Structure 1
Amino acid sequence: MHAAFFLLLAVALARFLLRHPGEDRTPWIIALCAVLAAVYVTGFAPRSRSTAGQRLWLLLVVAVWVALVALAPSFAWCAVPLFYTGLRTLPTRAALVLVALLTGLVIAAQLRLAGRWDPDLVLGPPAVVVIATAVFLQMQRQAVRQRALIDDLIRTRRELAAAERREGTLAERQRLSMEIHDTLAQGLSSQQMLLQAAERVWESEPAKARAHVRTAGSVAEHNLTEARRFVHDLAPADLAHGLEEALRAVAARESTEALTVRVTIDPDPDPVHTTGPAPAPVLPDRVQSALLRIAQGALANVREHSGAAHAALTLTLLDDQVVLDIADDGHGFVPAALPDTPSGVRGHGLPAIRARVRQLSGTLTIESAPGEGTVLSAAIPLTAR
């Protein structure tokens, strides 16, 4: 619009100079063109000026233009850019009033320039102005709605990001709670039981008491290693030598004089293979970590709640999933009576196991009955990478 204004101003001035050379009004026309151009250029200042300042600038431009049209009607076409400038600068009603006045001046100037009555000059400009104004106002309304939609979108995205951060924080807290329960809390529980056992036989069987103390010290050393690794990257310390060794280490720590834990690793359960075992699939780190934590939590429950004398931990690697089974010969329970949340008498154990399996899109099966022992089976698909 700025370029169109200066182009129309230059064309009108050139037309006047070509058709009216040497007239007395020529210096006034040139001077008013220079003033109009100078005043218009001041509108290029940054938009930091106030609304009142913008309206005053528009008033000055229109006033100079009216004086110019009064002297030379051919400058009437400069009103076209002024239409849009007024629509952009003024409120809608004031802008429509200005557009109507400018249209009337254009009609009068064109009739004066033609020197005769012409219906086209009377009806044509208003028709064009009405269409152009309607299009501009419609686009302006669409722009306002679009800005409102963009603002709503930005606000929604911010709210969604805040909600995701809160959800992530809660999920991380739950994960850390499960990690602490399955590592440090279980280790401290084992130490407490060993030290209590040592205290009971301290006088009668000092050798056994010292053995319990040494075992508690070993558990404390492992807990310290686990705590350091936990602080470093939250990865299970036992997994430094692979999942198989980690499961055997957990079974060895949980084995006591009252409970024996046996570990079986079955990388190829399919008896069809006759040319040697197929290579076991490589488990993702998060799957190995989850399986180890499940084994720790399940064996801790066996030790603390089942009263079992024997437990068996079996890891089976299939083509499409990995299955971890923990079986014991304890007194059993009714699985339906267990809570599905960390509250309840059994603490975080089974609910934490359920949560870990669910996070990896796996399935958890618990088979038990009073007096018949318990079998816990966690199946995790190998696509959970």
Structure 2
Amino acid sequence: MLTSVVLILSVVASVEMPVNLALLNLLLCGAFTFVYFSGTVDWPRWPALAQWAWVTALSVVWLLMLPVNDVSIYLILSLFFVYLAVFNDWRGVAAVVAATLMSILIQIPDGLTLGGVVGPAISALVVVAIHVAYQKLWQVSRERSELIEELMTTRNELAETQHAAGIAAERERIAHEIHDTVAQGLSSIQMLLHAAERDLAATGLDEEAQAPVRMRIDQARQSAQDNLAEARAMIAALQPASLSEGSLEDALGRVARSFGASGEIDIDVDVEGEPAVLPMKAEAMLLRVAQGAVGNVVKHSGATRARITLSFLPDATRLDVVDNGHGFDPEALAERPAGLGHVGLDAMRRRAAEVGGTLAVESSPGSGTAISVSVPVAEDGGQGAAEARG
């Protein structure tokens, strides 16, 4: 814009010149305009030699304009920016200094003035200062862009790490889900098949009559055993089916009836307090702990009775599973290795901890076992729990 204004004023100044000088002035103004605007956009793509030639041509045309038209001295500002942009180092500053000296020396024949010296000098200082400030801003912007790119890369790496960690945690959770649902159910089926085999023997039928039934029982037992082995290797995210079919109380009732029938023991379910809506993760944890605890009662305790108690307290929801079995030493059991085939108390504690709950075990040899898991009530009450379920 500045260059265009100065060139227009230079052309207008031709009106007051003699014809020969006016024509020369118009020719030089046209030459400067052509050379300047032909390179302002494309010069960064030119080779170094072409850039030098462009800057030299501009400087020569400008020097030829100075004796003809006084207004052309203001084109020095445009040349300053060209020098600093093309060379972008000490050579650009040297070119600015040289152009400043030339603009001062060209005034000597007509007599130097303070304004004729100070004006170009101050203009040179201002342009150099602007260029340095711009360079600093550009450097800061580039460093910020690099920092943003680095942060984006770090964020992506962190997201991948978190994703991998989430996959690992989900795989562990699924392993416990499969053990406590499919595996427990298949184990119960095997126990029922054993019971059916005993009932068949008690019918008094001869071996020939029992043979087809025993064959079917053996086939069912083998199928349950094969599927139990495959269930431990499955990787799939499953929502607890029991909870999808009703409330937690109903799900606990089904657990009691299923395990009670398979283990031939009486399992009662009691609910204390005003039932409250819990987050789905909390309900799933309570159900899974109940399944694991009752499964251990049926398989290991030798109990004849057990009770599941669900208590809705003002500050927590607690689940208790108590049996009259032969009991055990919790500290000795804690030293045993756990795996997919033996998901024990540690797994229950991890489940409880995932939803902010705690698990306690009371037992001793010969006096039965009591397992209690407690989940604190959310501060936002039922509404927050309902939202968590959604």
Q: TM-score range by the shorter chain?
A: 0.7 to 0.9
- CA positional deviation for 1:98: 2.3
What is the CA deviation profile of residues 343-363 of structure 1, one whole-angstrom value per residue up to 9, with x for unaligned ones?
359722433322221121111
> Per the alignment, do residues 355 and 257 of structure 1 end up closer, same or farther by CA in structure 2, a change over 3 Å counting?
closer
The DSSP-based 3-state class of the residue aligned with 2:167 is helix
Identity of aligned residues (%): 32
The DSSP-based 3-state class of the residue aligned with 1:241 is coil
- CA positional deviation for 1:26: 1.8
Residue aligning to 2:141: 143
CA distance in 1, matches of 2:30, 2:11: 14
Residue aligning to 1:324: 319
- CA positional deviation for 1:79: 4.6
CA RMSD of aligned residues (A): 3.7
- Matched residue type, 1:299: V
| Pairing 1:268-347 to 2, within 5 Å after superposition | 268=274, 280-339=275-334, 343-344=338-339, 347=342
> Per the alignment, do residues 39 and 204 of structure 1 end up closer, same or farther by CA in structure 2, a change over 3 Å counting?
same
Residue aligning to 1:72: 65
Gaps in structure 2 of 5+ consecutive residues: 379-384
Residue aligning to 1:254: 259
Residue aligning to 1:166: 164
| Pairing 1:363-382 to 2, within 5 Å after superposition | 363-382=358-377
The DSSP-based 3-state class of the residue aligned with 1:131 is helix
> Per the alignment, do residues 140 and 231 of structure 1 end up closer, same or farther by CA in structure 2, a change over 3 Å counting?
closer
CA contact (8 A) 2:77 2:123 kept: no
Q: Which of 97, 100, 124 is the matching residue for 1:103?
A: 97
Gaps in structure 1 of 5+ consecutive residues: 45-50, 269-279
CA distance in 1, matches of 2:74, 2:164: 61
CA distance in 1, matches of 2:153, 2:328: 51
* TM-score under structure 1 length normalisation: 0.77
Q: Which of 263, 266, 274 is the matching residue for 2:269?
A: 263
CA distance in 2, matches of 1:336, 1:7: 93
- CA positional deviation for 1:180: 1.1
> Per the alignment, do residues 75 and 43 of structure 1 end up closer, same or farther by CA in structure 2, a change over 3 Å counting?
farther
Residue aligning to 1:235: 239
* TM-score under structure 2 length normalisation: 0.76
CA distance in 2, matches of 1:81, 1:300: 89
- CA positional deviation for 1:80: 3.8
The size of the alignment, in residue pairs, is: 352
> Per the alignment, do residues 89 and 167 of structure 1 end up closer, same or farther by CA in structure 2, a change over 3 Å counting?
farther
| Pairing 1:1-80 to 2, within 5 Å after superposition | 3-11=1-9, 13-14=10-11, 16-17=13-14, 20=17, 22=19, 23=21, 24-40=23-39, 42-43=41-42, 53=46, 55=48, 58-73=51-66, 74-80=71-77
What is the CA deviation profile of residues 148-170 of structure 1, one whole-angstrom value per residue up to 9, with x for unaligned ones?
21122111111111112112211
The DSSP-based 3-state class of the residue aligned with 1:283 is coil
> Per the alignment, do residues 30 and 8 of structure 1 end up closer, same or farther by CA in structure 2, a change over 3 Å counting?
closer
- CA positional deviation for 1:238: 1.8
CA distance in 2, matches of 1:319, 1:302: 29
- Matched residue type, 1:162: E
- CA positional deviation for 1:123: 4.4
What is the CA deviation profile of residues 109-165 of structure 1, one whole-angstrom value per residue up to 9, with x for unaligned ones?
244247434552574344334433432332233223212211221111111111121
CA distance in 2, matches of 1:100, 1:244: 88
CA distance in 2, matches of 1:81, 1:123: 14
CA distance in 2, matches of 1:172, 1:105: 72
CA distance in 1, matches of 2:289, 2:16: 98
